[in-house]
Chains A and B, each alone.
Chain A
Amino acid sequence: MENRSQPLSSGLRESATFNRHVIHEIQRAAQTGIYDIRGWGAKRSLPHFDDLVFLGASMSRYPLEGYREKCETGVILGNRFASKPLHLDIPVTIAGMSFGSLSGSAKEALGRGASEVGTSTTTGDGGMTDEERAHSKMLVYQYLPSRYGMNPHDLRRADAIEIVLGQGAKPGGGGMLLGQKISDRVAGMRTLPAGIDQRSACRHPDWTGPDDLEIKIQELREITDWEKPIYIKVGASRTFYDVTLAVKSGADVVVLDGMQGGTGATQDVFIEHVGIPTLPALRQAVEALSELGMHRKVQLIVSGGIRNGADVAKALAMGADAVSIGTAALIALGCNSPQYDAEYQKLGSAAGFYDDYQDGKDPAGITTQDPELAARLDPVEGGHRLANYLRVLTMEAQTIARACGKSHVHNLEPEDLAALTIESAAMAGVPIAGTDWIPGKRGGF
């Protein structure tokens, strides 16, 4: 590794095991006596969608004309049991991020941006605000272990209900919001004293296991007269079984979040070491749905490191019905903008590196409850930027789908994919480019 202050010519050798980041973390731990808590998702390199490529059409497949022939992108979510399923215009949704971890202006901007392009946004661990309801054409209401702010009125004015079992950044962990972000309004919505470090529960208070969950879902459907689609969100770990049980419990939609998925505040050790990447989890989820004969009947939304239209197209080709974005949506709003580099530096970070979402000092006004900082984000402009970005994601996915000859992005299939590495081939279940070899399949090695 190139050492910025010590060129390689000096002969100094950095340890691969104890590199500078590791040394710094040991020193920090020794000094403070507390583990590192941060936002963002896993930062280490993992097998991901970049390790897959598409097999565009040529002799044996016909492509569609890039700018003329229609390539549809609409998605219906929740038509298994709900009388009012969601009709999205694009296969990209905005993931659940709490008011508390995000400012009111950021939540409003997410709603505006999503609505502009005909997709949904999602509440988070902290309840529903009037602003986000008003600015979101389709709003998914999260039902979390903490049940902060949970009430039947918001349940009825939501467009769908998402029961959260876990997140990719922390499967098995509860939420966390440090005192500096608990303003009076946030505290009031959560029925907690202002200014305390607050950890939300990791287990639901009134059910344990899939048999109980089935009854819980029945209750939520009864309260809302069977209108709302019910999603179940799981962090990626034992995904095949989790998805099987989610379907058995009666979910309309499964939301699967891989370990690259972002978080508002979690221990670094948790983010980097618990859970499996999005790629193998997605394959397992599709296998589970297919085995039950429920693929495309119970819809699958995938998140965790979706950045561009190629990621969207690859996730759909592997069998997802839609994807969901968190980190990328915040970046589109202005998170990590070079415009604030000097301020990031003052906080000991830099534009492109800032992940201290837990701290509440975000110069871009997104992951903060400080009214002055939050006022820096204009929700109308932020919403437009997000809408632009969502349009680009969609157009990129359509470009790829047309090149593969598909008139709907959902017609993309695993057969359109090839893998560049053995790991990604094994995890995604597609052959290594130029071969028909999928490790672990057809012969067992």
Chain B
Amino acid sequence: MSTFDLSKISVRELNQHLHQLSEVNDIDILEPRGAHAVACGLTAPLNVSIRGPVGYYCAGMNERATVTVHGNAGTGVAENMMSGEVRVLGNASQSAGATAHGGLLVIQGDASARCGISLKGASIVVGGSVGHMSAFMAQAGTLVICGDAGDALGDSIYEARIYLRGQVASLGADCIEKEMRPEHLAELTQLLTTAGIHADPTIFRRYGSGRSLYHFHSDQASAY
């Protein structure tokens, strides 16, 4: 176990050190105090615990590492993650998991606006609610919301899947409710289990693309 205290070293020194590691390692980061870009660009299977709140882009572009934030996370936590796992024990700000390609992001509390925006294949499980414009233009991957969703959920969504337990304030353009088939129930059950979040999968609803905006048609002008 290595410990780094961000009240004593800079984020640059921390990240430089983490980037040089190539093997399994347990890392403890103290006193993050809302610093930005903490533990971003990791490539090794590290086990990183951050003891406190982080600023923007924590664990950005993560590959293979497991990063746990023992606090709240600022904008863009795990943005563009490729693989590995990022877990926020508190709440997350805007654009959590934006454009993430792979891996698992778990937010135990609430996530703000644009959660899973432009998602490209990762799985996101939110224990609480998400803000407006979540899964905007989401292309692939899965967003599980155990609480409620804000306005314009899944606006202009492509092939990503949304599972929602609570209420949705409004659906975005071309986002529709879809049938929950056995394979979806299995996927959701699996995700909730992996995320360690206790919720009854059978009461979730599924949303996805109506695929009506996939081609330009002038008679759909009002939707564009």
Contact = CB atoms under 8 A, between A and B. Distances in A.
Contacts of A212: 56, 75
Given A151-B82, A193-B159, A207-B76, A215 B37 contact: yes
A206 B101 contact: no
B85 interface: no
Interface in A108-157: 146-147, 150-152, 155
Nearest to B114: A205
A216 B137 CA distance: 21
Contacts of B215: 179, 196-197
Interface stretch (B116-124, B146-154, B164-172, B191-199): B116-124
Given A191-B139, A215-B55, A222-B12, A150 B76 contact: no
Interface in B1-56: 11-12, 15-16, 19, 36-37, 40-41, 43, 55-56
B80 interface: yes
A155 B80 CA distance: 12
A224 interface: yes
Interface stretch (B92-100, B103-111, B176-184, B200-208): B92-100
Interface in A170-193: 178-179, 190-193
A147 B216 contact: no
A337 B100 CA distance: 42
Contact of A206 (B41, B117, B159): B117
B145 interface: no
Contact of A218 (B37, B121, B137): B37
A190 B159 CA distance: 12
B163 interface: no
A206 B75 CA distance: 7
Contact of B99 (A32, A150, A179, A218): A150
Nearest to A217: B37
Contact of B43 (A152, A178, A206, A226): A152
A223 B60 CA distance: 8
B218 interface: yes
A191 B41 contact: no
A192 B80 contact: no
A33 interface: yes
A86 B162 CA distance: 44
Contacts of A151: 61, 80, 82, 101
A225 interface: yes
Interface in B49-94: 55-57, 60-61, 63, 75-76, 79-80, 82, 94
A219 B140 contact: no
A34 interface: yes
Contacts of B218: 32-34
Contact of B117 (A191, A205, A216, A219): A205
Q: Which of A32, A150, A178, A224 has the most CB of B within 10 A?
A: A150
Nearest to B58: A219
Contact of B56 (A33, A219, A224): A219
Nearest to B139: A191
Interface centre among A34, A152, A155 (most CB of B within 10 A): A152
Interface in A337-390: none
A152 B88 CA distance: 22
A207 B56 CA distance: 10
A206 B76 contact: yes
Contacts of A190: 139
A128 to B, nearest CB: 14
Contact of A219 (B19, B36, B159): B36
Interface of A: 32-34, 146-147, 150-152, 155, 178-179, 190-193, 196-197, 201, 205-207, 212, 215-216, 218-219, 222-226
Given A192-B139, A212-B56, A219-B37, 19 more contacts: A33-B219, A147-B98, A151-B80, A152-B41, A179-B214, A191-B121, A201-B118, A205-B95, A205-B98, A205-B118, A205-B137, A206-B117, A207-B95, A215-B56, A215-B75, A218-B36, A219-B40, A219-B76, A222-B37
